[in-house]
Homo-oligomer: A and B are copies of this chain.
Amino acid sequence: MEEENRQIRLQLNQLQGTAGQPADGGNYGNAAWGASADTGPDDVENTAEERANHTECPRSPTILKCEVSQNQKCILAQLCVLAVFVWLHCLVIGFKFGIVKSAVSGVCLVCPLSSVQLIHVACVCAGHNASRDVVTLVKSILFHRRNPLHFHFITDAVANQILSSLFQSWMVPSVQVSFYDADELKSEVSWIPNKHYSGIYGLMKLTLTKALPSDLTKVIVLDTDITFATDIAELWAIFRKFTDKQVIGLVENQSDWYLGNLWKNHKPWPALGRGFNTGVILLYLERLRRIGWEQMWRLTAERELMSMLSTSLADQDIFNAFIKQNPVLVHQLPCFWNVQLSDHTRSEQCYTEVSDLKVIHWNSPKKLRVKNKHVEFFRNLYLTFLEYDGNLLRRELFGCPSVISPGIEILQGALEELDEDDQCYDFRRERITVHRVHLYFLQYEYTPAGDDTDVTLVAQLSMDRLQMLEAICKHWEGPISLALYMSDAEAQQFLRYAQASEVLKNRKNVGYHIVYKEGQFYPVNLVRNVALRNANTPYVFLADVDFLPMYGLYDYLRKSVVQLDMAHTKKALVVPAFETLRYRLSFPKSKAELLSMLDMGTLYTFRYHVWTKGHAPTNYAKWRTATTPYKVEWEADFEPYVVVKRDCPEYDQRFVGFGWNKVSHIMELDAQEYDLMVLPNAFMIHMPHAPSFDISKFRSSPGYRYCLQTLKEEFHQDLSRKYGAAALKYLTAQRNI
């Protein structure tokens, strides 16, 4: 009985992914899972019981110093006294990152045995929508996981851009990410006619033995419409239950499709009984390679296609036909590992028997609107992760540091330089905070104009300015790059708003980039830079979201770009800014109309009442009568809205929240000797809105003012360093105020 109890405890701990009892605690040392691909054949044997006795993992009942190799000791020792987060990532195609957090006390953490094993997950992901969906899958996995993970994404160019930048900025500890080019795999499957809505990407799961690294032995393959309700390590552990012959783990299909009785003359591909669903696959890559999988599935597909002509359910038809011929190769998984929620499935039989749902599969084109008597329950589980704050998943595993990269030292250095007693510590900390970024959150299509004159409107916003988007789209037909500063929940709210808006739905040339909220500041220049960096035209119009451009501004700017030879000169074209204090403005159709409204007092020059200096150098008096572009000189605090080449300097990210965020940018343009040219027939009008919280924070806080002043001075010093003596004029200009 004692022994039995011991076994039960052991198994329990294994299930929970932890060493639950002091006696099972151990120290893994370091770096085992940091290898580029798999932990090798060793991990096949490294079972729960065996690992408890693993020689490389000495047990310990109390805290252990990390046992590291001699050449890493000094680095670790250094880390242990710093108590900082340090990040590493190297940006090769298959990039990876991890986190090493040191301990205040100088004692590193003990790695629990269970977190030793690196789990590999593969996913085929193409396009904007799948890239958004897969994030919810990833969140549900990260939420429950206790092991290091390696995600392998087979992506098209769109998904690659979105997911690589997302993971790079997400910086989840003990998560590696690799990308594989789906386009290169297309030729492997493009010969298969396929009627399934997933298209050619639906077939690519067949090619994983080829696509993934040849030394990767096992992988869990998931569709993007999967939600995990448990630790993925439990699923990974099932590989151990495979017999020697078994190469692929699958859950039975829960619809009647393969029974072939859904309608008259319904003739599905051959399958064992109801067949298997390929939304969740345990793929024993090593064995598949050994038995010649790549040839085998092709032969199967070719033979069946002679009579079937095309696949109906993409890869799933071929997997099933293959299994029908080779039933000994399949390991059937318990149905709760893939509870399929398409209409008319038998999934109920699965989860009414086992209330412990582990994986939910939204495999209906209806997704959340699927009819299922427990859809409310499943929907809640899904929504939990959909709106879950991804920053919270940055928590580290309890484990020893793994790989140390040179990238660490840079961030470490920056953090080291910060003085916690500095009155402006929070400002400085914000500057080096890495915000998670999800580029192209919605569908985006843009074909570059052939003449190299195209201009993108660039702006940033948060939730409270959402209602401006429709109006801006009506005033500007060209491409737009918008960065949205939001929480995960707000991003979903935005998604619903955009999908419900006729105006936004019909505009595909707007790139929406989510910068996820973190910390107490509004990092306005960081957000602006995300929008700026992701403009895809040679020129950008650096605007603000509370302005409406005059009708026709887009065309006028493109003409001006040519007229003023922007391609071969260094110019910033100024679009004069006005404002209305009234909501119900009848927007002026022409410069003449604008001037008369100005005379009537319906319009004002921008910030005329409160901050005249911001736009005074535009010289509105001259503009009234100007018919050709005219040059103006930089003056202190000038912050016009300008059109510049896309490769202009970025905004200085030290300025967060209200104050000096645009001023510093214009100053740097001037330092780089951009000519400021005012456009005689362009204008934009600021629309009224309630003051933002940030402004009130600024106005009421002497600390904020003090820090802004300090940051300004440091910015001046940096300008001088960068641009030499000429930049001293900014300092002088500043002092004269």
Contacts and interface: CB of A to CB of B under 8 A. Distances in A.
Interface of A: 4, 7-8, 11-13, 15-22, 25, 61-63, 83, 101, 103-105, 109-110, 112, 114-115, 146, 348-349, 351-356, 373, 376-377, 380-381, 383-384, 387-389, 391-398, 463-468, 470, 487, 489, 497, 502, 581-584, 609-610, 687-693, 696, 700
Contacts of A7: 4, 8
A234 to B, nearest CB: 10
B690 A354 contact: no
Given A19-B355, A467-B690, A584-B609, 14 more contacts: A11-B11, A17-B355, A21-B354, A25-B353, A101-B376, A105-B348, A384-B389, A463-B463, A467-B691, A468-B690, A497-B693, A581-B688, A688-B688, A688-B690
A354 B19 contact: yes
Nearest to A697: B500
B384 A392 contact: yes
In order of increasing CB-CB distance, the 3 nearest A-B pairs are: A18-B356, A355-B398, A112-B355
Contacts of A377: 395-396
A466 B693 contact: yes
Nearest to A396: B377
Given A11-B8, A62-B349, A691 B583 contact: yes
Contact of A690 (B105, B395, B689): B689
A48 to B, nearest CB: 11
A30 to B, nearest CB: 16
Given A352-B109, A352-B398, A467 B373 contact: no
15 contacts: A12-B12, A16-B356, A18-B354, A22-B353, A25-B354, A63-B352, A110-B353, A380-B392, A380-B393, A464-B464, A465-B690, A489-B489, A581-B584, A583-B690, A584-B610
A20 B353 CA distance: 8
B373 A104 contact: yes
A406 to B, nearest CB: 24
Contacts of A8: 7-8, 11
Nearest to A103: B373
A146 to B, nearest CB: 7
Contact of A354 (B20, B109, B115): B20
Contacts of A395: 376-377, 380-381
Contact of A581 (B25, B464, B581): B581
Contact of A355 (B11, B115, B392, B688): B115
Contacts of A502: 700
Contacts of A610: 584
Nearest to A10: B8
A466 B693 CA distance: 9
Contacts of A489: 389, 487, 489
A376 to B, nearest CB: 7
A353 B581 contact: no
Nearest to A693: B467
B689 A689 contact: yes
A105 B373 contact: yes
A59 to B, nearest CB: 11
B389 A387 contact: yes
B352 A110 contact: yes
Contacts of A103: 373
A110 B351 CA distance: 10
B18 A355 contact: yes
Nearest to A689: B690
Contact of A349 (B63, B349, B690): B63
Contacts of A12: 11-12, 15
Contacts of A348: 63, 105
A380 B143 CA distance: 11
A500 B640 CA distance: 33
B583 A582 contact: no
A11 B463 CA distance: 48
A394 B352 CA distance: 19
A581 B601 CA distance: 13
B4 A696 contact: no
Contacts of A581: 581-584, 688
